[in-house]
Amino acid sequence: MTYHSLVHNLRQPRLAAPVLHACLFALTWGLFWVQPQPLANGPADWPFRILFCADLPISIIAFGVMFNSDERFPYALAAWGILGTLWWYFLGRLIEERRRR
């Protein structure tokens, strides 16, 4: 895949939105693991807030499980990442459909 075809593909919301989600998700949890401070008070503050609001209700369920169970933390985190990325993919498709009208 060439640079130009990659840029062209990322102009499509159905691809750009999930890529953006994956980057924000990786940034949030990467910052948290590098400097483990409370998510809303540490360096992961702004990407976490964006993800939390944009992924509702997925984020509420996942964060609730993560907050209450250390044993289920990795599963909830993975589910949040996967389901949130799928959610953003479908939002991107919706944007594309609206543009066509």
The pLDDT assigned to 101 comes to 81
Give pLDDT tens digits for 39-51: 778 888 999 999 9
The identity of residue 90, as a single letter, is: F
Contact 23, 91 (CB under 8 A): no
Q: Is the pTM of this model over 0.75?
A: yes
pLDDT of residue 63: 86
Tell me what pLDDT residue 6 has: 57
Question: CB 1: neighbour CB atoms within 10 A?
Answer: 6
The confidence score (pLDDT) of residue 11 equals 77
What's residue 2's pLDDT? Answer: 73
Rounded to whole angstroms, the Cα distance separating 50 from 53 reads: 5
Q: Which residues of the chain have pLDDT under 50?
A: none
The confidence score (pLDDT) of residue 26 equals: 94
How far is residue 25's CA from residue 32's CA, in Å, rounded to a whole number? 11
Structure token digits, residue 90? 């479908």
Of 1, 7, 11, 3, the C-alpha closest to 96 is: 11
Q: State residue 3's pLDDT score.
A: 61
